[in-house]
A and B are shown apart, each in its own frame.
Chain A
Amino acid sequence: MITLEHIYWLMGLMMAGVAIVNLRDPSNPRRLNNTLFWGIYAITFLIGSHLSDLANGFLVIGMVLVASIRGLGQGKIAGTSAAEREASARRWGAKLFIPALTIPLVTVLGTFIFKKITINGSPLVDVKQVTVISLAIATLVALAVGMTMLRPPLSAPIKEARRLLDAVGWAAVLPQMLAALGALFALAGVGTVVSGLAQRWIPLDNPSAVVVTYAVGMAVFTMIMGNAFAAFPVMTAGIGLPLIVQRFGGDPAIMAAIGMLSGFCGTLMTPMAANFNIVPTALLELPDENAVIKVQIPTALLLLAANILLMNFLVFRH
């Protein structure tokens, strides 16, 4: 059976390759930092599952120190010139889209098909992780298509991965780091403290005020945690269920659905949701790392107001 562990080996090999390409590139003034950073990251993928928690903790701290003391650099990469790429684009035409579109298509197909394939009675892939495993397999298929079509040197994919990964830099690891922080917050009971604070301030006798508190609380708490999934259980157990549902007789399905979407408004406004808000600024080479958040804030606030009106209007009607 193909499990996440196999995909992690693949990630580890890619990161190790990126580290090696960096090590052999004298044009990068910080090449040792880059090599250490991606090299340690490779280790967490290749053997992280077998190391002790403490050893993994020290590896992570090592990565953070390498990235924050003197920081990571970028090699001067002799890429193709704009004119060469224009010529190549004309030569290949629309065919260039084929490998790119292979990724989403195979991912979507995979999520439907892999669930159903079994070998000797056991499933081909870990059914619980079918989406990410499909994505990983889709990238391999797309890479095979691209390599057959373009026939570049065999080392080209890893060199290209290194170019893009070094352009994104430490931001590539930030989403995973924030997910880890969320787990520590949960362990320490940060949620209970926050919902306790919110409860102390709500005027308990007005259903509309409670709805506003719940929806705004979902958004704000999501901004703190970077993830609406972490905010939902805390706010709903603390405010939603006892007040909106039990005290004022609101509909739990409507409250929960719109409550979660109020949390998503918070996701649009926080650097803590790094994979949605910070990583794209690195990918799109934007100097302001809050550029995407700034564009999203007006929509997020208007939509939060819309959610509050909708919940007020819908949740108490039966």
Chain B
Amino acid sequence: MLTLIGVAIVVVGFVLRMNPLLVVTVAGLATGIASGLGPLAVIAAFGKAFITSRYVAIVWLVLPVIGLLEHAGLKERARSLVAGLRAATVSRILLAYFAIRQITAALGLTSLGGHPQMVRPLIAPMAEAAAENQYGELPELVRQKIRAHAAAVDNIALFFGEDIFIAIGSILLIKGFLDQNGIHVEPTQLAIWAIPTAICAFVIHGTRLLLLDRWLRKEIARNQSEA
């Protein structure tokens, strides 16, 4: 049971809103010590794990070029693209991005998206501009909710699209694990059974996105009557 001390530290730390880097480090060190390692061995194990996980950070290499383009007005340009489209609403823009992202992920094109390179410079400004077209200046909470939805669309479409592609990491992991346990399945079998959930994801989140325009209309009306 003592092995779970790290999990407890993480939960308490996040609830108390302490600095997550500190929480995670303390949780890691405590877990190592609880499993019987000496203090120096734990620090070494943590250092080793950090170094082997460096690939996680490679996405930050996009920042110089994204920053450069933002400086030259990329967000403003994305907004004016939407300002010219009367039919554009928050729901429609996010739904269109959801569909494109899910379909391309299902074809294995998982890198056509992402928060630093697509959502921050393009999708979120476009969704905000669509709302501004309809309602003018937005209340801050509405603006934040639209941005959060833009980020969520990228995640949900990716997670429930990529498993339909046979060479994606999770499919290979499942196949490898089942092989080790003497059960042999083809990647195509696994990919096919990801399709029902993918459809459910599209229906469920698509419906929520369609309802977003209605929520927006109510929220703006409520704000105006309060003002």
Contact = CB atoms under 8 A, between A and B. Distances in A.
B190 A256 contact: yes
Nearest to A284: B147
Given A7-B58, A292-B152, 10 more contacts: A4-B55, A11-B58, A85-B71, A85-B76, A161-B63, A165-B60, A170-B19, A280-B120, A295-B152, A307-B197
A111 B165 CA distance: 15
A288 B109 CA distance: 31
A139 B22 contact: no
Interface string B171-202: 00110011001010100011111101100110
Interface of B: 1, 3-4, 6-7, 10, 14, 19-22, 24-25, 27-28, 31-32, 34-35, 40, 42-78, 80-81, 109-113, 115-122, 124, 144-145, 147-152, 154-156, 159-160, 163, 169-170, 173-174, 177-178, 181, 183, 185, 189-194, 196-197, 200-201, 204-205, 208
Contacts, number: 399
Q: Main SS of chain B's interface residues?
A: helix
B115 A280 contact: yes
A194 interface: yes
A183 B150 CA distance: 31
B227 to A, nearest CB: 22
7 contacts: A71-B19, A96-B77, A103-B117, A184-B32, A187-B45, A229-B169, A237-B181
A63 B21 CA distance: 9
Contacts of B71: 79-80, 85, 152, 156, 160
Interface in A1-26: 4, 7-8, 10-11, 14
Contact of B144 (A61, A135, A241, A286): A286
Contacts of A236: 177
Contacts of A124: none
A86 B73 contact: yes
A121 interface: no
A284 to B, nearest CB: 4
B144 A291 contact: yes
A209 interface: no
A283 B61 contact: no
B44 A181 contact: no
Nearest to A273: B155
Nearest to B184: A252
A229 B193 CA distance: 18
B65 A142 contact: yes
Contacts of B170: 228-229, 232, 260
Contacts of A99: 65, 68-69
A265 to B, nearest CB: 8
A58 B169 CA distance: 32
B50 A60 contact: yes
Contact of B45 (A52, A53, A172, A260): A53
B46 A57 contact: yes
Interface of A: 4, 7-8, 10-11, 14, 44-45, 48-49, 52-61, 63-64, 67-68, 71, 79-80, 82, 84-90, 92-94, 96-97, 99-100, 103-104, 107-108, 111, 129, 131-132, 134-136, 139, 142-143, 146-147, 150, 152, 156-161, 163-165, 170-181, 183-185, 187-190, 193-194, 224, 228-229, 232-233, 236-237, 241, 245, 252-254, 256-258, 260-261, 264, 267-268, 271-272, 274-281, 283-288, 291-292, 294-296, 298-299, 302-303, 306-307, 310, 314
A285 B140 CA distance: 12
B208 A49 contact: no
Given A188-B31, A261-B197, A284-B124, A100 B115 contact: no
Contacts of A64: 21-22, 25
Contact of A190 (B6, B58, B178, B204): B6
B162 to A, nearest CB: 9
A86 B125 CA distance: 13
A184 B111 contact: no
* Residue among A14, A56, A92, A193 with most chain B CB within 10 A: A56
Contact of A150 (B46, B59, B68): B68
Contact of A157 (B65, B119, B183, B200): B65
B72 to A, nearest CB: 5
Contacts of A292: 148, 151-152, 155
A104 B111 contact: yes
Closest 7 CB pairs of A and B: A160-B67, A57-B47, A89-B73, A56-B47, A157-B64, A188-B35, A57-B43
B86 to A, nearest CB: 19
Given A96-B77, A156-B71, A299-B156, A44 B3 contact: no
Contact of A268 (B32, B159, B181, B208): B159
A298 to B, nearest CB: 7
A160 B72 CA distance: 11
